[in-house]
Amino acid sequence: MGNGRAGISPQVYRRRRAVVLLLLTLLVLLPVLLFVWPGWATGGDEEDAGTSGEAASETQEPDPTTPTIDPVDRADDLTALQSALPDEVLRFVLVDERNEPEFDATGPVEMWSLTYADGEGSDADTVDVVVGQWSGPSEALEAFEVIDETAGPAEATTGVVEADDETVGTWTRRTTGDGRGTVVWRNGTVVVSATGPSEDIEDFYAAYPF
Q: How confident is the model at residue 153 (pLDDT cuts 50, 70, 90)?
A: confident
pTM (predicted TM-score): 0.69
Distance separating alpha carbons of residues 191 and 143, to the nearest angstrom:
8
Average pLDDT over residues 52-71: 65
Q: State the residue range of the domain holding 135.
A: 80-207
**Helix or strand holding residue 157 (H, E):** strand 157-163
116 and 190 co-located in one domain = yes
Q: How far apart are CA 159 and CA 156, in angstroms?
A: 10
Residues 108 and 48 in one domain: no
Task: Please check whether residues 146 and 97 belong to one and the same domain.
Answer: yes
**Predicted local distance difference test score (pLDDT) of residue 50:** 52
Q: Is residue 72 part of a domain?
A: no
In a shared domain, residues 138 and 52: no
Residue 177: per-residue pLDDT: 73
Looking at per-residue pLDDT, the higher value among 29 and 121 belongs to 121
Q: Are residues 15 and 87 in the same domain?
A: no
- In this prediction, residue 166 carries a pLDDT of 92
* 180 and 87 together in one domain: yes
β-strand partners of 132: 111, 191
Give the domain CATH number at 196: 3.40.1000.20
Say how many domains are in the chain: 2
Task: Let me know whether 191 and 88 are in one domain.
Answer: yes
103 and 200 in a single domain? The answer is yes
Cite the DSSP H helix spans in the chain. 10-36, 45-58, 80-83, 137-149, 198-207
